[in-house]
Structure 1
Amino acid sequence: MAGRFAPRTARAALPHQAAPTRSDEPPRTRDWSPPYPLDLRLVLGPLRRGPADPTFRMTSDGTVWRTTRTPEGPGTLRVTAHGASIRAAAWGPGADWLLSGLPTLLGADDDPDAFTPRHRLLALTRHRRPGLRLLRTGLVLESLIPSILEQKVTTDEAYRAWRLLVRGYGTPAPGPTADLGLYVVPDPRTWAMVPSWEWHKAGVDAKRSATILRAVRVAHRLEEAAAMDLPEARARLELIPGIGPWTSAETLQRSNGAADAVTVGDLHLPGIVGHALADNRHADDEEMLALLAPYAGQRHRATRLILLSGHTPKRRAPRMTPRNIAAL
């Protein structure tokens, strides 16, 4: 795909203009029995951006709360496992959209049988984690923006920025979420209007904030990538300056359930894969891709299994020192 996108003006209101949703609004509900084992924490865990993510909660009883901005408006989804059945409730204008997409979100479109483990570690981990499926949200921007925030910084820095920006410019989540402190992500127009000093206060440098601003100006074109095959979806995202293979992979793993969207350019992943598959903790991207070549089409699933195996090298190098951008 060639050429640049023509921006479309978003029509959503600013946060302070949005009408709040009543917390006592009755939810829409759905019960669904997946025809496969399902571990909610494993499947939905990749959506959480840190322990205090204002768009996501896992409670002690195994319930998962998720907020998002659907094509039909903001919504809150609560998902609980009851034996082999999944019980879901949703609030807000996006409730019906969330419930109709529940099976897809929970991996109904995933095909784990397409993966043939060729290494004992992968086979053993898959056996021990039968409830793993690759989720698919069908929404690009909600995963793209936090992925951009995570570029070249520590996870703690990125999680802090996401938390501050969503709480500051998002809207309170529909439904009985006040005690959970949940918010819905800002709409594209609101992201575009975040002042430069607020990015700075959140610890986001000019390069990352500029990338986000370029992305939200063409949000409707980026959202189309959720329905594309992986090569076309990756190309669509990477047309935006500042979005490279690392960011597109991290996004499409979540939005598209892309089983082959292997993350390259990561500081730690090549060494983890190298250690697990070849006892080489010093592997680089080229060596990682060579080791993953037998799993073509399923390379992201292979790395998920490696990470879940716990077979990772002991840390030797010092942790990256967080930069205090807000103090500059």
Structure 2
Amino acid sequence: MAGRFAARTTAVPRRQPAAAATAASVPQLTRTWTPPWPLDVRLVLGPLRRGPADPAYRALSDGSFWRATRTPAGPGTLRVSAAPDGRISAAAWGPGAQWLLDGLPALLGEGDAPDAFRPCHRLLAVTHHRRPGLRLLRTGLVMESLIPSILEQKVTTDEAYRAWRLLVRTYGTPAPGPADPAFGTYGLYVMPDARTWATIPSWEWHRAGVDSKRSATILRAVRVARRMEEAASMELPEAMARLQLIPGIGPWTAAETLQRSNGAADAVTVGDLHLPGIVGHALAGDRNADDEAMLALLEPYAGQRHRATRLILLSGRIPPRRAPRMTPRDIARL
């Protein structure tokens, strides 16, 4: 399906590195915000990062975090840093700058309710106490997280990160704002818009290592991108149902997306290769737990099950690996 659709379209020209753009002339908007609770910006924004070379996200050595995204108002770049006194400083560039600054508190977990979490296992209680700055982010943007989540279906993380990196650098646009030398040869990129995703030729998906099933799912999603974005303002059950109307999007992909777009504290990831064994090992010493056993162990945390799994992952209580890692497939060579 992806190949037949792409054959009738025109390839989109490849973009130039952001360093070649004249983005430095874009006006900068700023905002300062002091949250009334502890905040660890690295922990909060970490789930947005898709690999160490994510073209849309950077964590720099000066303690700043950069994010390039496509907002309802247009492309935008956001820089966030935290002062020792807890004050958050943000700067933004591009048509989406004001939208990003207006959404800064929500992005950093203002709508989250960590106090509603009642741990009944010592591991969770200790980790919850040691991570007071952990809050669940909310981007308010669905496609930004849906597309990379689709790319991560049933492949290794390295394969998915490579596909995201190649496609965004090739078909995205250089992010507005300064071309910081710390970004390296390639600067920040804003992911393609829905129309551009839909015109990527089948051979370019293949070059990026994306099989026809995942590319076809992305094509179906971008054709109804506006309907997908509406899920950002829905309650979790309705949002899960909305995303899963697209063939190829199941509970795993929907949960991974809504954890980020909606700050969904109860969007537990089912269908994951490793998570049931990690949860089972941490809470019951059962590294062979399946989804059913995992959900039973998480039942006391109904409403906060995603937070519980994040705390387990942060605890470091991960079972030792017994089997070889999944072997990456080099689709581009087929």
Name the counterpart of 1:51.
52
For residues 299 and 113 of structure 2, what CA distance do their matches in structure 1 show? Answer: 19
Partner of 1:10: none
Residue 159 (structure 1) aligned to one of 144, 158, 161: 161
Distance in structure 2 (CA, Å) of the matches to 1:25 and 1:229? 37
Where does residue 318 of structure 1 map in the other structure? 324
TM-score when scaled to structure 2?
0.92
- Map 1:135-146 onto structure 2 (within 5 A): 135-146=137-148
Aligned partners of 1:28 and 1:125: how far apart in 2? 37
The RMSD of aligned alpha carbons is 1.5
- Structure 2 distance, partners of 1:60, 1:291, is 39
Distance of 1:14 and 1:227 partners within structure 2: 34
Gapped regions of structure 1 (runs ≥ 5):
1-12
* CA distance in 2 between partners of 1:246 and 1:55 (Å): 23
Question: 1: CA distance between counterparts of 2:15 and 2:275?
Answer: 41
Aligned residue in 1 for 2:41: 40
Residue identity matched to 1:255: S
Aligned: 1:65 with 2:66: yes
Q: Secondary structure at the match of 1:294?
A: helix
Partner of 1:4: none
Distance in 1 (CA, whole Å) between partners of 2:22 and 2:122 is: 51
Task: Return 5+ residue gaps in structure 2 as ranges.
Answer: 1-11
Task: Say if 1:138 and 1:226, in contact at 8 Å, map to a contact too.
Answer: yes
1:80 partner SS: strand
Cα drift, residue 24 of structure 1: 3.2
Q: Distance in 2 between matches of 1:193 and 1:62?
A: 37
Task: Write out per-residue CA displacement over residues 120-156 of structure 1, whole angstroms, 9 at most, x where no aligned residue.
Answer: 0000001111100000000000100000000000000
Does the alignment pair 1:200 with 2:206?
A: yes
Please name the residue that 1:79 is paired with.
80
Structure-2 residue corresponding to 1:230:
236
- Which of 282, 292, 300 is the equivalent residue of 1:276? 282
Contact 1:122 1:302 in 2 (8 A): yes
Q: Which amino acid is 2:189 matched to? A: Y
**Match of 2:255?**
249
User: What's the offset of the Cα at 1:72?
Assistant: 0.3
Residue 97 (structure 1) aligns with:
99
Partner of 2:7: none
1:109 to partner: Cα distance:
0.3
Q: Which amino acid is 1:316 matched to? A: R
* Equivalent residues of 1:15, 1:190 under 8 A apart: no
2:193 aligned residue: 187
* Structure 1 residues 186 and 14: CA distance shift in structure 2, 3 A: farther
* SS in structure 1 at match of 2:25: coil
Q: Deviations over 1:224-261 (max 9, x none)?
A: 00000000000000000000000000000000000000
For 1:3, the equivalent position in structure 2 comes to none
Identity fraction in percent: 78
Cα 1:14–1:298 change in 2 (3 A) is farther
- How far 1:16 sits from its partner (Å)? 6.1
SS of residue in 2 equivalent to 1:23: helix
Q: Which residue does the alignment assign to 2:176?
A: 174
CA distance in 2, matches of 1:129, 1:69: 31
Q: Offset of 1:26 from its aligned partner? A: 3.2
